[in-house]
Homo-oligomer: A and B are copies of this chain.
Amino acid sequence: MSLEGRDIISIRDFTKAELERMLSAADLMEPLAKRGSEILKGKIMATLFFEPSTRTRLSFESAMNRLGGSSIGFAEPGGTSVQKGENLTDTIKVVENYADVLVVRHPLEGASRLAGEVANVPVINAGSGSEEHPTQAILDIYTMKREFGSIDGLKVAMVGDLRYGRTVHSLAYALSLYKNTKLFLISPELLRMRREVLEDIGKNIEVEEGRDLKKILPEVDVIYMTRIQKERFADPAEYESVKGSYRLTRADLKEAKEGAIVMHPLPRVDEVDYDVDSTVHARYFKQVWYGLLVRMGLLALVLGAV
């Protein structure tokens, strides 16, 4: 199965077989990430970040360099033609002359989709609006696969901001492609998943909502923490009242299942205590490494190198 020339806009655009292809491409990348390679020699990636995200940008640039390719682009929209009133379509029609693959991050929903429709070269969505951030979802699934060998049967708790965070929808979809997976949604009342989204997700995968992280800790294989942003709360007192229950500590993890792992898309603020870093459960920095492999694999796939 070839993914050459494909856009990576939403994880929902792909079948399970295609997702599995991406995961096995990531496997192939591990030796190349360690010793370097030239499989994309002469290829150029353009990173078009209409919204800054240093972490994601560096991950893609490192991936491209590890494959022997090179990068051009911008890290924020300041100084671009966009500020002279140019529309996104024109920008894409210009930049596609300069690169073999475009990586687009944009504050507006639908921007990466539009870029993919316009461009004659593959487009990878590095996050647009509050929509999906597909490479994050793929690296999350890849992390679980690497850590447990198989996704089937995993019990995953998503913790924190489930209302505004864009990771949960994509991940729920990806998990639903596997057998007997279960999703626990743990959040303060104010940040519960919206009713209509919950119903949509519930069609594909078993979902259980709750407020209390500690209660379900002994049950889950994956504790997926997310950042709760203070500014989401109209009343600071309300934020103060909830934040404690969603701050994971080393002490909490004594109740965790043996072999359970803690994941986080990073950056964290205080929702995962630093004393968790040295426990056997922490995987959020390993996740970064897996993310590099996944992005290497995706670049190699859409450019037809694997």
User: A interface vs B, CB < 8 Å?
Assistant: 35-37, 41-44, 46, 52-55, 58-59, 61-62, 65-66, 68, 70-76, 78-81, 84-86, 89-91, 93-95, 97-99, 227, 266-269, 274, 285, 288-289, 291-292
List 15 A–B pairs whose Cβ atoms lie within 8 Å, in order of A's numbering.
A36-B41, A46-B62, A54-B74, A55-B80, A55-B94, A62-B72, A62-B99, A70-B70, A81-B267, A84-B227, A85-B267, A91-B267, A94-B288, A97-B289, A97-B291
Contacting pair B72 A268 (CB below 8 A): no
Distance in angstroms between the alpha carbons of A154 and B42 in the assembled complex: 37
Known A62-B72, A65-B70: A85·B285 in contact at CB below 8 Å: no
Contacting pair B36 A54 (CB below 8 A): no
User: What B residues does A74 contact at CB under 8 A?
Assistant: 54, 58, 75
List 6 A-B pairs, minimum CB-CB distance, nearest first.
A36-B42, A52-B79, A62-B98, A86-B267, A81-B267, A54-B80
User: Of the candidates B42, B73, B89, B93, which one forms a contact with A58 in the assembled complex, judged by CB atoms under 8 Å apart?
Assistant: B73
Minimum CB–CB distance from A26 to chain B (whole Å) comes to 14
Please name 16 further chain A to chain B contacts, defined as beta carbons within 8 Å, in addition to the given A46-B62, A52-B80, A65-B70, sorted by A numbering: A36-B41, A46-B58, A54-B74, A54-B79, A55-B81, A55-B94, A62-B99, A65-B72, A81-B266, A84-B267, A90-B266, A90-B267, A93-B288, A94-B288, A97-B285, A97-B292
User: What B residues does A274 contact at CB under 8 A?
Assistant: 89
Minimum CB–CB distance from A299 to chain B (whole Å) comes to 14
User: What B residues does A266 contact at CB under 8 A?
Assistant: 81, 86, 90, 94
User: What B residues does A72 contact at CB under 8 A?
Assistant: 58, 61-62, 65, 71
Distance in angstroms between the alpha carbons of A71 and B37 in the assembled complex: 16
Known A37-B42, A76-B78: A285·B52 in contact at CB below 8 Å: no
Minimum CB–CB distance from A304 to chain B (whole Å) comes to 13
User: Of the candidates B35, B80, B285, which one forms a contact with A42 in the assembled complex, judged by CB atoms under 8 Å apart?
Assistant: B35
